[in-house]
Structure 1
Amino acid sequence: MIQSKIRKVGNSAVMTLTADMLALLDAKEGDTLYVVRTDDGGLKLMTENPELQSALAAAEVVMDENRELLQALA
């Protein structure tokens, strides 16, 4: 478990991501992080946009269902 404190910077509350946290996320300075609420009320930090991942998964299903038709059109 990694612990981090929330501190005030100007009018914002800030949590610093340590080098260990960045390594766990496979993230670096300047990357965008996405925060989603989990079913149990927690928060999940992600380096990939969950909405985009959902759309790509849906597109993959459609392409799998129509693979022969798509190959014929190519």
Structure 2
Amino acid sequence: MIETKIRKVGNSAVMTLTTEMLTMLDVKEGDTLFVVRGDDGSIKITPQDPTVAEALAAAEIVMDENRDLLEALA
């Protein structure tokens, strides 16, 4: 677990990401992060857009279900 503080910068509240946190996320300054709230109130910070991940998972299911047809079309 890594502890970080929230501080005020102008009219915003800012959470500082340490070098260790950036490494864990495999991101760098200027990258975009997505914050998703879980049903239990927790939050997840991820460098991948969760809506894209959901769409890719759905596409994978469709491709698996129709593999023979897709191979015939290729």
| Normalised TM-score (structure 2) | 0.93
- The amino acid that maps onto 1:45 is I
- The amino acid that maps onto 1:64 is D
5+ residue gaps, structure 1 = none
- The Cα RMSD (Å) is 0.9
Matches within 5 A, 1:19-34: 19-34=19-34
Per-residue deviation at 1:3? 1.1
Runs of 4+ off more than 2 Å: none
In the other structure, the counterpart of 2:12 is: 12
Aligned residues: 74
CA distance in 2, matches of 1:33, 1:56: 18
Whether 1:41 aligns to 2:23 is no
CA distance in 2, matches of 1:61, 1:2: 36
Per-residue deviation at 1:19? 0.3
CA distance in 1, matches of 2:60, 2:24: 28
Where 2:24 maps in the other structure, the secondary structure is helix
